[in-house]
Amino acid sequence: MSEISINAERLLGRILELGDVGREDDGRLIRLAASDTEKLGRDKFVSWIERAGLEVAVDRIGNIFGIWKPAAVSNEAPLMLGSHIDTVINAGIYDGCYGVLSGLEVIETLVAAGFQPSRPIVVAAFTNEEGVRYAPDMMGSLVYAGGLDVDTALATVGTDGTKLGEELRRIGYDGEHQPGFIRPHAYIELHIEQGPVLEREGIQIGAVENLQGISWQRVTISGDANHAGTTPISMRRDAGHAAALVITFLRERARNSNTPTVATVGCMTFEPNAINVIPSRATFTVDLRDPDEERLRQEEAALEAYLAQLAKEEGVSFEVERLARFQPVWFDGRIVDLIAKAAARRGHTVRRMTSGAGHDAQMITRIAPAAMIFVPSLGGISHNPKEKTPDEDLVAGANMLLDVAKQIAGGGI
């Protein structure tokens, strides 16, 4: 078959259309997992799957699949393409959604071109990738790959007190299939980079070789509440001050390191949270990431040691809760090579690279060969309404997905 290309107008139009689902009156885009607004996004995606003539399947954790299995295709394991459509709070329109809609576009393009695959092709939208309402993130793909029991996941209580399983049932996406009912032959995820590397270097396509390890912890520091005006500094057991010291420690340690380690404190609350009361309790999250497992363990140990030091110096106590822990992941070298060669054939510049963010692909590596394709993010901005990738880059990335999918589904791997 000669070179074919995706329908750019259809893909870009759907990205914009889905990007308006979940808009609040103030213009913010919010489609948290299993919420009313995410139901609307799911409904729209399913309608497009059905319009394309594909079979729709939903599993118990709410993962949605659009299945193309031509009559002449045997019961071979399918090629799976996908990502997610849930968002963070006040999100951009590309994160996750671009990969899902491009996967659907690839299938529609191949169908229209009369391509006869040697195996089925499936597009997937995984549940709760962002982890904003329910923890951990990448939950749908983690459950799908067997890394988390489905009943345990469904019993997860969200930040608003709801249970995931009850919410999926309420919105009509508690499917009947057991997670993992389709075991893919291979998995490819197309995504915006969410970082500055490709744009900074003027590169059009990222062939992602590996993903960083991720450590999420919740730290609670306890001290004593007391009057802000009458308690001398030297006599305070100030949980808020201790929390600030931890933030500074993490930032300085990462900044002074010659490694790619990053550390982030993303959530923090004080008790009693009053302007004239010394905080008796500070609760905050710590997000540590590194592409090397041993270095990630060293950062976790350094945090633990510093907390113990603070307890002695500041007269406070602390508790640490593990929220999520994922080891670094290396993708399948054969698929990464296919991506790089496909980019060269289309005349695009390409860079082999590491992903700083977590993605569903890292979970699917537990059950199938996988890899990712990145396109540039302007300014490296993501999880933000300013998230932007130029249309020509979106189209180029979707055509890379098309080319690689055609090769794999045609028996190339």
**pLDDT per residue as tens, the chain (413 positions):** 458 999 999 999 999 999 999 999 999 999 999 999 999 999 999 999 999 999 999 999 999 999 999 987 878 999 999 999 999 999 999 999 999 999 999 999 999 999 999 999 999 999 999 999 999 999 999 999 999 999 999 999 999 999 999 999 999 999 999 999 999 999 999 999 999 999 999 999 999 999 999 999 999 999 999 999 999 999 999 999 999 999 999 999 999 999 999 999 999 999 999 999 999 999 999 999 999 999 999 999 999 999 999 999 999 999 999 998 989 999 999 999 999 999 999 999 999 999 988 899 999 999 999 999 999 999 999 999 999 999 999 999 999 999 999 999 998 88
Q: Return the half-sphere exposure (C-beta side, CA atoms, 13 A cut-off) of residue 162.
A: 17
Residue 284 is predicted with a pLDDT of 98
H/E stretch holding 301 reads helix 293-314
Contacts of 298 (CB under 8 A, 6+ apart): none
Supply the DSSP symbol for 379.
G
Report which of 81, 216, 266, 59 is spatially closest to residue 153, judged by C-alpha positions.
59
- Residues whose CB falls within 8 Å of the CB of residue 24, separated by 6 or more in sequence, listed in order: 30
CA 111 to chain CA centroid, Å, is 29
Which amino acids are annotated as binding site for Zn(2+), given as ranges?
Answer: 84, 95, 130, 191, 383
Closest CA to 372 of 195, 187, 197, 196: 187
Q: Is the peptide bond before 260 cis (omega within 30 degrees of 0)?
A: no
Helices 391-409 & 8-19, crossing angle to 10 degrees?
Answer: 110
Return the closest-CA partner of residue 206 out of 79, 384, 82, 389.
Answer: 389
Phi, psi (deg, nearest 5) at residue 361 = -55, -35
Annotated binding site: 84, 95, 130, 191, 383
- Which amino acid, residue 407? Q
d(CA 314, CA 306): 12
Domains and CATH numbers, the chain: 6-210+327-408 (3.40.630.10), 212-324 (3.30.70.360)
Q: Return the exposure string of 164-200: e unless at least 16 CB atoms fall within 10 Å of the residue's CB, then b.
A: bbebbeebebbbeeebbebebbbbbbbbbbbbebbbe
**Cβ pair 194, 359 in contact under 8 A:** no
Contacts of 175 (CB under 8 A, 6+ apart): 57, 58, 59, 60, 61, 62, 63
Amino acid at 398: A
Asked if 328 and 212 touch (Cβ cutoff 8 Å), the reply is yes
Query: If you count them, how many residues does the chain have?
Result: 413
Number of other CB atoms surrounding residue 294 within 10 Å: 9
Cα 86 from Cα 367, distance rounded (Å): 23
Alpha-carbon distance of 180 to 34, in angstroms, equals: 20
C-alpha span between 153 and 156 (Å, rounded): 5
Instruction: Quote the CA–CA distance of 289 and 319 in Å, as a whole number.
Output: 21
What is the reported pLDDT for 310? Answer: 97
According to the model, what pLDDT value does residue 413 have? Answer: 86
Place of tokens 């590491």: 354
pLDDT score, position 303: 98
**pLDDT score for 212:** 93
- Alpha-carbon distance of 208 to 193, in angstroms, equals 10
Rounded to 5 degrees, φ, ψ at 270 are -115, 150
Cα 98–Cα 90–Cα 58 angle in degrees, nearest 5: 50
Residues 186/413, Cβ–Cβ less than 8 Å: yes
Q: How far from chain centre, in Å, is Cα 197?
A: 18
- Give 385: exposed, middle or buried? Use CB within 10 Å, 0-12, 13-18, 19+: middle
Check if the beta carbon of residue 43 is closer than 8 Å to that of residue 161: no
Q: Given this model, what pLDDT does residue 365 score? A: 97
Predicted pLDDT at 72: 79
SS3 277: strand
Cα 170 from Cα 34, distance rounded (Å) = 9
A 10 A CB-CB count for 135 gives 17
pTM of the model: 0.88
